[in-house]
Amino acid sequence: MTSEEIVEKLKAGLAGAIQDSDFPQGDAVIFVAPKSLHLVAEFLKNDPDLKFDYLSDVRGVDYLLEEREPRFESVYQLYSIDHQHSIRVRVGIDEDNPSVPTVSDLWKGALYPEQELFDMFGIHVEGHPTMERLIMPKDWEGYPLRKDYPLTTETVAFSHNRDFKSELIKSKPPTR
């Protein structure tokens, strides 16, 4: 199916759940609210014409600098192995009490990237079996990939380098 056909089919099947759709460079992209994510995911996986049985990745994005509402987004990339088509599902997540339902009951492959979503962005994934730190140490404070988390350096005892630290401790990159 082409990108347009996939989105049309989705809109026919789930009229209220799809907020918006887009076709950047020909890819199919749909926008979904967190509360209807699980419903949409089930439809995507179980519908025989769509049959998105392969979850490629889940990523978080922080739109703080663009001042966009809602601030966070989790993006799901799905493929159908049989039909050889793909779709991207974008879910906007509010800044206060950020949370999103899990899809790891449908695709087991989502377990790790969803845990990373919590680790790096502090987005709570409801229904996920292990909501704890994955890559960062267990006692780490803060969420490193949020835009308000500063890029810092570790203090070293001795260095030949010039003092980069004062330049680096800024939340905005120097080239902007």
Partner 1 sequence: MSVTEQGLLQRDKDTMTLNMGPQHPSTHGVFRIILEMDGEVVKTAEPEIGYLHTGIEKTSENKRYVHVIPMTDRLDYLNPPGNNLAFCLSTEKLLGVEIPTRANVLRVIMCELSRIASHLVWLGTHALDIGAMTVFLYCWREREMVLDLNEEISGVRMMTSYIRIGGVAKDATRPWLDGIRNFIDYFPEKVDEYERLLTKNPIWLDRTQGVGALSREEAINWSLSGPALRASGVNWDIRKSQPYSGYENYDFEVPVQNNGDIFDRYRVRVEEMRQSRAIIKQALENLPGGDFKAPDNKVSLPPRETLHTSMEALIHHFKLVSEGISVPVGETYVPIEGARGEVGFYIVSDGTNVPARVKLRAPSFMAIPGMCKMMEGCYIADVVGIIGSIDIVMGEVDR
Binding stretches for partner 1 (CB under 8 A): 24-25, 27, 53-57, 59, 61-63, 65-66, 75, 77, 81, 84, 86, 88, 107-113, 133-137, 144-145, 149, 151, 173-176
The CA–CA distances, whole Å, from 96 to 48, 69, 127, 137, 145 equal 38, 12, 19, 24, 17
Q: How far is the CB of 172 from partner 1 (least distance, A)?
A: 9
Evaluate whether 114 touches 129 at the Cβ level (below 8 Å).
Answer: no
Distance (Å, whole) CA 85 – CA 107: 17
Q: Based on CB atoms, which residue is closest to partner 1, 12 or 155? A: 155
Q: Based on CB atoms, which residue is closest to partner 1, 13 or 109? A: 109
Q: Based on CB atoms, which residue is closest to partner 1, 36 or 56? A: 56
Distance (Å, whole) CA 98 – CA 88: 21
Distance (Å, whole) CA 11 – CA 163: 56
Q: How far is the CB of 25 from partner 1 (least distance, A)?
A: 6
Q: How far is the CB of 4 from partner 1 (least distance, A)?
A: 17
Q: Based on CB atoms, which residue is closest to partner 1, 16 or 132? A: 132
Q: How far is the CB of 121 from partner 1 (least distance, A)?
A: 11
Q: Based on CB atoms, which residue is closest to partner 1, 33 or 61? A: 61
Q: How far is the CB of 161 from partner 1 (least distance, A)?
A: 16
Distance (Å, whole) CA 87 – CA 27: 7
Q: Closest Cα partner for 122 from 148, 104, 84, 161?
A: 148
Residues 6+ apart with CB under 8 A from 105: 127
